[in-house]
Structure 1
């Protein structure tokens, strides 16, 4: 299995890299801005660094060759569209994107009331919704869009609960380590959660009025 991580210097990517190295035999291509300066390689037989911008078509196309699984840690419409185009050129089907709750005005409960001022920004992001809809209609790509609840770091909290599209999201938080856990689970079983748009929350956070770290 060859996995490319786009936006490899992000926090979720760092936890994902660690899990993939420990739990799989995947070959990793770590792609992003100045990764050769910002990432310390743990296993030089399995980690391959590529300095590049997701919107740099030539560099991205070259990095995609031979990949089996793509993780996009930059959920802008431009990045999603560019990634999809490069994947189709290379004949790659499997894509996972880490995104955010609030795109569909789906945050409910006490948490939804508390977070309404922040969520207003995301409900106006029509370009992102359009890019996700395009993936949903594209028979050449098997995508998973992961709508993450409010993020924090907690290595002891790697459990997660998935909330299907169309269901109100009341879970107030999820750890970055739990998100990395979910993505690792999909790398291990790539046919799971294909063509799904799901929210991810910390199990048990459904009754919180706001994140525990606020």
Structure 2
């Protein structure tokens, strides 16, 4: 059976790489959910359906999730905890089990050394209402659910045209300082294609051999 993949936040930069990888390497049909459909370009009407909607509006989210076999959430919003709660509720309602969730480096204070100190200073580590605090709260909602979730915590993102990454699991020290958006998009597509090895796991993702006090392009 052809998978129906719901992509929440489909205009995001990582999402665009995931879309390209899914179209190239799978026969999945994609449901592109976004508040701004005018920003979607080169839509393949044979395999992609555009849905205008807002994850903070349950009726719009329910209508989209009801069509899906898999949900991939690529969201950035101060209300991301509420978005997570809404997504879990909708997926439970319609019996959709697989969720791929993009989070952030540093939500578990897992980044060691000088880079960890710099990352916390930039993103507000340890502060409940900071960027990291809100993303941690959302990740806690996901990990407390009964979904077959995969949480991804990317290193600092680049636009390099490369697929080159390694992973660490929750509880392990984060490696590296950066990773390409294309790498994350390809990792998302890999998880969607073969979910079992990644179910109910939480991964840090970085480009190998990029250790340092901060990303080298800053």
TM over 0.5, yes or no?
Answer: yes
Query: 1:72 deviation in Å?
Result: 0.5
Residues 1-214 of structure 1: pairs in structure 2 closer than 5 A: 1-35=3-37, 37-74=38-75, 76-121=80-125, 124=128, 125-126=132-133, 128-139=135-146, 141-156=147-162, 158-205=163-210, 207-214=211-218
Query: 1:122 deviation in Å?
Result: 6.5
Structure 1, residues 150-177: CA drift from partner, whole Å, max 9, x if none? 1111112x12111111112131011100
Number of residues paired by the alignment? 210
What SS is found at the alignment partner of 1:17?
helix
Distance (whole Å) between structure 2 residues aligned to residue 41 and residue 86 of structure 1 = 29
| Contact 2:159 2:182 (C-alpha < 8 Å) held by counterparts | yes
| Contact 2:69 2:98 (C-alpha < 8 Å) held by counterparts | yes
Kindly report the root-mean-square deviation, in angstroms, between the aligned alpha carbons of the 2 structures.
Answer: 1.7
> Normalized against structure 2, the TM-score is what?
0.89
Gap regions ≥5 residues in structure 1: none
Distance (whole Å) between structure 2 residues aligned to residue 123 and residue 186 of structure 1 = 31
Distance (whole Å) between structure 1 residues aligned to residue 127 and residue 22 of structure 2 = 33
